[in-house]
Homo-oligomer: A and B are copies of this chain.
């Protein structure tokens, strides 16, 4: 019969606890401050216990970023309305996700995780979140797939750039009233 004490030698689901702990730390601490040891401490395990579940710190960060892409895809896919309006709403939802989770978003796209190509789960989650944008752009412009893909890159660039500038505080000096609303970002695919 298993001991029910709160401090057991075996954690139970340490992998999940580490990812969730890292996500919690990212709510208040910058990626640079997020050390593998601090995540282990938060989970109540020794400094190298994570190595039973992740081959390196980067592998843990990849799992965290992957969860970030899943959340982002959920948020953007939830945009409703007729195609043109839905796209604008999606852009706004995207920017909102980024500004509400600035450090997570920075981890997902920033130079913190350099070798992200090596983590296939992360690549798949990133592709899936991009697919949501491509689909919405295609629906809003009803053009051929190739053109839709190019337009999606333009739209994604605009939204991503706006989000990054906002997160890094480069838009902070402007009074909010003079900022273009994120919905305007889709103007990039308006002319044809």
The stretch that binds B, out of A12-20, A42-50, A180-188, is A180-188
> Residues of B contacting A162 with CB < 8 Å?
153-154, 157, 161
Contact B165 A157 (CB under 8 A): yes
Chain A contact residues, majority secondary structure: helix
> Residues of B contacting A185 with CB < 8 Å?
154, 157-158, 188
Q: How far is the CA of A1 from the CA of B63 in the complex (A)?
A: 62
Q: How many copies does the complex hold?
A: 2
Q: Is residue A124 within 8 Å, beta carbon to beta carbon, of the partner chain?
A: no
Contact A111 B32 (CB under 8 A): yes
Q: Is residue A68 within 8 Å, beta carbon to beta carbon, of the partner chain?
A: no
Contact A179 B150 (CB under 8 A): yes
- Residues of A whose CB lies within 8 Å of any CB of B are 30-32, 103, 106, 109-112, 114, 116-117, 126-127, 130, 146, 149-151, 153-154, 156-165, 167-171, 173-174, 178-180, 184-185, 187-191
